[in-house]
Amino acid sequence: MFKKRHVVSVRDLTREDIEFILDCSERMMPYAKTGVRVLQNRILALLFFEPSTRTQLSFDSAMKRLGGSTLSLTSEESSVLKGETLADTIKVVEEYADAIVLRHPREGAARMASEISRIPIINGGDGAGHHPTQTLLDLYTIKKESHLDDLDIALLGDLKYGRTAHSLAYALNMFNANIALVAPEGLQMPKHIVNTLDSVRLAENVDEVIRDVDVLYVTRIQKERFPDPNEYLRVAKSYRLTLRVIERVRENLIIMHPLPRVDEIAPEVDQTKHARYFKQAFYGIPVRMALLAILMNGAI
Amino acid sequence: MIPKKVKEELRVRSIKNGSVIDHITAGNALNVLKILDITGTTKAIVSVAMNVSSKRLPFGRKDIVKIEDRELVPAEVDKIALIAPQATINIIRDYEVVQKNSVVLPNVITHVVRCPNLNCISNSREPVYSKFRVLDSFVLRCNYCETIIDSDIAAYLI
């Protein structure tokens, strides 16, 4: 059902698709550190037109754990510097590889590539756009470390521009989650997304919701979104997660963050039983291994 | 005093062959020409009437466009529904209306509206046309970056 499909946006996936990928990820888990040779002689092209160390390394690692190999192209490469279009690059690379991971500064680049390419395109992030494997690994983390059905979750931070939160909210809605959106004024989630959520609550302060949730998903508040640096400092401070903020939370609360973090979570929170962000980053490996195997082999 | 009938004819005379786009939302005649790619260099004889009185349209005003010797086909006229959902297209042969159609909003529109997101791949030098899904009347979603246009569509016409 998945062989040769493109993975561009979470919007393209049904709940059944997501459950299938998460089940495959669970079966891949035992091999995430030891490897399993199911993609021998297969080649994954990593086309990174903007730097993203974490995503690139984790796809590279996932492919190699599966016994396959990778080709890399970055925006420093000669064809790109000479002004070749992305469309042409895709047409060339599809002859060299079995699947492509594309990271591009322009939104919609992966969708366009998927209209051109005969081999699967996996969106590794397009500008401020989608990053579906991030959403899949977020869902896997929630399933593994908490529970997916009827979840109480709060999304915290820049919910206007941070599309990680948009995709996650969209996907969680398929699992009947109760979603609290906590954002500073001016950085709230756009109305057209909020309107698609069935059980949603808006808040400006994390204290209003933190005792009622199973998962707290923290995202970065970017400095460049604020014209006034003092305003940024004020907001960033009020959204910082410290030991004081997480007093009296649910016993089994987990805290997630797509990383890299700046000041959103104080380092002392890392030592608490609630922190899951480093585990979340590790889960990127089994999830991406599962996805690569089902896109190239149809099954694992 | 000029009789009423004569006054109307002075304003827009009947055409022998061609297309008449009637009931255009007042103020949108020039946008309709833009959608039909009718520019100052077009050879066809084109008449435009703006703010003509109308019993059917809001505020009692409508625009009309008449294009001589060109019969519009549904694929070109349906795009007009984006800005003038009540428009009708009359095909004229030998002064007679031989066909009368309403416009139907298509599900997907290609290369009609520019994506407002400057960082969208459809606004780059890649060989790709802008493409929008029509969600509701007057709500469009970019096929590439998923930006929503829900007001002032005419401002984004290519």
Contact at CB, B119 and A128, closer than 8 angstroms: yes
User: Region A223-252: what's the mean pLDDT?
Assistant: 87
Whether the CB-CB separation of A140 and A287 falls below 8 Å is answered with: yes
In a shared domain, residues A110 and A236? no
For residue A145, give the amino acid letter: E
Task: Identify the contact set of chain B against chain A, taking CB-CB distances under 8 A.
Answer: 117, 119-122, 124-128, 142-148, 150
A273 and A138 share a domain? Answer: yes
Q: Do A87 and B127 touch (CB under 8 A)?
A: yes
Amino acid (1-letter code) at residue A181 = L
Nearest residue of B to residue A193, measured between CA atoms = B148
Spell out which residues of chain A touch residue B150, defining contact as CB-CB under 8 Å: 192
- Indicate if A120 and A187 belong to the same structural domain: no
CB neighbour list of residue B6: distance below 8 Å, 6 or more residues apart: none
User: pTM value?
Assistant: 0.87
DSSP lists the bridge partners of residue A71 as A45
Interface of A to B at Cβ within 8 Å reads 9, 11, 85-87, 104-109, 111-112, 115, 126-130, 190, 192
Same domain assignment for residues A138 and A105: no
The string of pLDDT tens digits covering residues B88-144 is 999 999 999 999 999 888 899 999 899 999 999 999 999 999 999 998 767 899 999
List CB contacts (< 8 A) between A126 and chain B: 121, 145
Q: Is A167 exposed, middle or buried (0-12, 13-18, 19+ CB in 10 A)?
A: buried
Q: Give chain A's largest Cα–Cα span.
A: 58
What sign does the dihedral A162-A165-A171-A176 (CA atoms) show? negative
Q: State yes or no: cis peptide before A120, omega within 30 of 0.
A: no
Strands B18-25 and B61-68: antiparallel
**pLDDT, tens digit, for every residue of A281-295?**
999 999 999 999 999
Strand pairing category for B108-110 and B131-136: antiparallel
Identify whether residues A177 and A98 lie together within a single domain. Answer: no
Domain shared by A216 and A177, yes or no:
yes
Q: Is the predicted pLDDT of residue A129 greater than 80, yes or no?
A: no
Tell me if A87 and B126 make a contact (CB, 8 A cut-off): yes
Output the CA angle A13-A60-B143, nearest 5 degrees.
35
For the stretch B68-85, pLDDT in tens is 999 998 878 888 888 888
* Residues whose CB is less than 8 angstroms from the CB of residue A71 and which lie 6 or more positions away in sequence, other chains included: A43, A44, A45, A46, A93, A96, A97
Closest partner residue to A109 (CB to CB) among B121, B127, B147 is B121
Among A108, A127, A192, beta carbon nearest to B142: A108
Assigned domain for A56 exists: yes
**A81-111 CB burial, b ≥16 within 10 A, e <16:** eeeeebbebbeebbeebbbbbbbbbbbbbbb
Provide the shortest C-alpha distance from residue A85 to chain B (in Å): 6
Residue positions of A annotated with a catalytic role: 54-55, 82, 103, 131
User: Which site among A107, A130, A131 would you substitute to test the B interface, given the most B Cβ atoms closer than 10 Å to its Cβ?
Assistant: A107
Contact A236, A183 (CB under 8 A): no
What is the count of structural domains for chain A?
2
Q: What number is the ipTM of this complex?
A: 0.86
Query: Which domains does chain B carry?
Result: 4-102 (3.30.70.140), 108-156 (2.30.30.20)
CB contact under 8 A, B126 and A86: yes
CATH classification of the domain holding A123: 3.40.50.1370
What is the span of the domain harbouring residue A238? 133-280
Of the candidates A87, A107, A115, the beta carbon closest to that of B120 is on A107
Contact pairs from chain A to chain B, CB under 8 Å: 55
Q: Find all residues with CB under 8 Å of B103, minimum gap 6, and list them.
A: B77, B78, B80, B81, B84, B85, B87, B88, B89
The tens digit of pLDDT for each residue in A10-40 reads 999 999 999 999 999 999 999 999 999 999 9
